[in-house]
Each structure stands twice: as structure tokens, then as C-alpha cells.
């Protein structure tokens, strides 16, 4: 059977940072943020060339182990076969190891690029399932693919997600420390079981979170409270825990971003986040961000 037909022109993909969980929405809720990585992928005559600039440039592999390359090749396999060669150029702006979805962005960028480079493509559901399989959980990749606020789940038909319309006034500040964390290590801090009362409480807050983000930002402080995962990780991230408590004590809706160590603050108006930026502690960089509503998409090469 003949393999896929590849486009000769390069594709440039822009993919947003994401914040998962947002407090009680553990492993299900994701939010796309207005901070972007750009990836250009071109079919080559032979070999593999990888170039990386920006965040993480000194740390990532520049061979077949690079996450964008792994995702591109996984998507090509799903689409019917590999090209003769590949060139991948990454301009990274999303901080690595900070809980802002840098790995999800790399995976989604690779899959999106492959979909544009093959004549005859992959469904959105198939792209999400493949991205979640590589990432290990669907919350960040769902938001990176679709943009906006997403809820992801797994069922008999595989991984699925739905997009919820965001309230137009909500904006965010990501407070990013100068230290990193590992999602895998953070997961090991979570207990195998939790009290039934905590699970029930968390389910109610997760439902409230959707209402707050879509229709009623006044509920954001209560809606971003969590007992399911943040307390269990607090001892391993004391600076994050202290900042989170300080912000919430001031009435600011804040949550650990993903597995941390960054903290994401949300508000129904940009002016409400001025105090967050002004109060960023030493060693923390505030990123004032709009919310991305479009997700990963191709942009003109050179534009």
C-alpha cells in the first residue's frame, strides 16, 4: 500500500501555553494562555535536522528524542508512513518545567504540523487521542489543540474533550518561579485514595469552576479552591504554597498551574490583576496574559 503524500512547502505552527487543573479540575480542565511557541516543520530529502531557540534551548535533545520530532513521527505513522527526511525549527517562549504546558505544546505542535503536511488528514478526535497518549493525560493537550477552556475525559470511545465558552472579561497572570518541577515527581506525591467527603467537595467546586469561567467571574475565588491535589504537593513546593496562600488571603483567585511550581491568578477584569503583578515576590516573573481562544494553528511561514 502506498504511503501518504507530503506537501513540499514548510508549515509553521503556533501553539499556546496551557494551565491545567485550575484548582479542583484535576486532570480534566485546561485553559489556553496567550503565550506561544512557534514550530516550523519541513519535509527534507533525507536525515533529520533540529534547531531550537529560546526557552529550554540548552536542555532539549536535537535528535529523534526531541518531543516535537517524536510527536511529528507518531502522527506520520498514524497517517500512513514517514517522509525521507525532516527539518524542525523551534522558537520557544513557554517556560519549561514550570506547569505551563511546555510538553503539551511540543506534542500538539508536532501533531498539528504533521496534519498540515500530509494530503488527507486526521480527525480532531484522533489528534487528541494521540496527543494524550504521548503526554499521559489529556487536560493540557486538549486546551492546546482547541484553545479556550476545555474539559477532557476518557471513555469507551477513547479520549474526548469539549470546549466551554469563556467569559470575555477574564484575564490571567502567571507567576513563574526561577525553579523547575517535574510532573512525574509531583504525581508521586498524591495518595492512592482520598476521603469521600473531599471527593464530593471537589466535584462541587469543579462544577462551580465552569460556571465561574464561563458566566460569573465573581465566583472565581471559591471556584479555584482545592483539596484534591494541591495540599498533598504543598510540602514539596513551599514557595508555591506560601504564594498561593498569600494571594488567596487577599481575595485573589489563584491556583497552582498544573503540577507547579507556577501559580496562575484569574480575574474578571485586567485591572483586578494589577496587584498581582506589583506584588510578585523576588525570584518570580509575572506574565500578564490574555486567554487564547483559538488553540494550535498554522500561520504563514516568515509572518
* Cα(99)–Cα(257) distance, integer angstroms: 5
Average pLDDT over the chain reads: 94
Residue 54 has which C-alpha cell?
529560546
Q: Do residues 16 and 153 share a domain?
A: yes
Q: Do residues 100 and 243 share a domain?
A: no
Which residue range(s) make up the domain with 263? 171-289
Please report the pLDDT score of residue 151 as a whole number: 98
Q: Do residues 150 and 220 share a domain?
A: no
Q: Is residue 299 part of a domain?
A: no
Given 164, 189, 223, which residue is the final one in a domain?
A: 164
Q: pTM for this structure?
A: 0.95
Please report the pLDDT score of residue 2 as a whole number: 66
Q: Give the total number of structural domains in the chain.
A: 2
Q: What tens digit of pLDDT does each residue of 64-102 get?
A: 999 999 999 999 999 999 999 999 999 999 999 999 999
Given 164, 182, 212, which residue is the final one in a domain?
A: 164
Residue 153 has which C-alpha cell?
475525559
Q: Is residue 51 part of a domain?
A: yes
Q: Do residues 87 and 183 share a domain?
A: no
Given 145, 164, 183, which residue is the final one in a domain?
A: 164
Check: CB of residue 43 under 8 Å from CB of residue 83.
Answer: yes
Q: Do residues 24 and 157 share a domain?
A: yes
- For residue 230, the domain's CATH number is 3.30.70.890
Q: What tens digit of pLDDT does each residue of 246-293 get?
A: 999 999 999 999 999 999 999 988 888 998 998 899 999 999 999 999
Q: What are phi and psi of 183, to 5 degrees?
A: -60, -40
Lowest-confidence pick of 114-123, 146-155, 238-247: 114-123
Q: Is residue 297 part of a domain?
A: no
Q: Do residues 118 and 181 share a domain?
A: no
Q: Do residues 39 and 156 share a domain?
A: yes
Q: Do residues 205 and 132 share a domain?
A: no
Please report the pLDDT score of residue 302 as a whole number: 66
CB 207: neighbour CB atoms within 10 A? 13
CB 3: neighbour CB atoms within 10 A? 12
Q: Do residues 111 and 76 share a domain?
A: yes
Q: Do residues 229 and 97 share a domain?
A: no
CB 206: neighbour CB atoms within 10 A? 21
Q: Is residue 188 part of a domain?
A: yes
Q: What tens digit of pLDDT does each residue of 108-120 get?
A: 999 999 999 998 7
Amino acid at each position: 500500500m502506498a504511503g501518504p503524500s507530503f506537501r513540499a512547502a514548510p508549515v509553521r505552527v503556533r501553539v499556546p501555553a496551557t494551565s491545567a487543573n485550575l484548582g479542583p479540575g484535576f486532570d480534566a480542565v485546561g485553559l489556553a494562555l496567550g503565550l506561544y511557541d512557534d514550530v516550523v516543520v519541513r519535509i527534507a530529502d533525507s536525515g533529520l535536522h533540529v534547531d531550537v531557540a529560546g526557552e529550554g534551548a540548552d536542555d532539549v535533545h536535537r535528535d529523534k528524542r526531541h518531543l516535537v520530532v517524536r510527536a511529528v513521527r507518531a502522527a506520520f505513522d498514524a497517517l500512513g508512513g514517514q517522509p525521507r527526511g525532516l527539518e524542525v525549527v523551534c522558537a520557544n517562549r513557554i517556560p519549561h518545567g514550570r506547569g505551563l504546558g511546555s510538553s503539551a505544546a511540543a506534542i500538539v505542535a508536532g501533531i498539528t504540523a504533521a496534519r498540515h503536511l500530509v494530503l488527507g488528514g486526521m480527525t480532531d478526535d484522533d489528534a487528541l487521542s494521540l496527543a494524550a497518549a504521548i503526554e499521559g493525560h489529556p487536560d493540557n493537550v486538549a486546551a492546546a489543540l482547541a484553545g479556550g477552556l476545555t474539559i477532557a475525559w476518557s471513555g469507551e470511545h477513547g479520549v474526548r474533550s469539549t470546549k466551554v465558552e469563556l467569559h470575555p472579561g477574564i484575564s490571567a497572570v502567571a507567576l513563574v518561579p526561577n525553579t523547575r518541577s517535574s510532573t512525574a515527581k509531583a504525581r508521586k506525591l498524591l495518595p492512592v485514595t482520598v476521603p469521600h467527603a473531599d471527593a464530593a467537595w471537589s466535584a462541587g467546586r469543579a462544577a462551580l469552576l465552569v460556571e465561574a469561567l464561563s458566566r460569573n467571574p465573581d465566583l472565581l475565588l471559591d471556584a479555584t479552591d482545592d483539596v484534591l491535589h494541591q495540599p498533598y504537593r504543598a510540602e514539596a513546593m513551599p514557595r508555591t504554597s506560601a504564594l498561593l496562600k498569600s494571594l488567596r488571603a487577599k481575595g485573589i483567585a489563584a491556583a497552582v498551574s498544573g503540577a507547579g511550581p507556577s501559580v496562575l491568578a484569574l480575574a474578571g477584569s485586567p485591572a483586578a490583576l494589577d496587584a498581582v503583578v506589583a506584588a510578585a515576590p523576588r525570584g518570580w516573573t509575572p506574565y500578564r496574559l490574555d486567554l487564547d481562544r483559538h488553540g494550535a494553528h498554522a500561520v504563514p511561514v516568515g509572518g
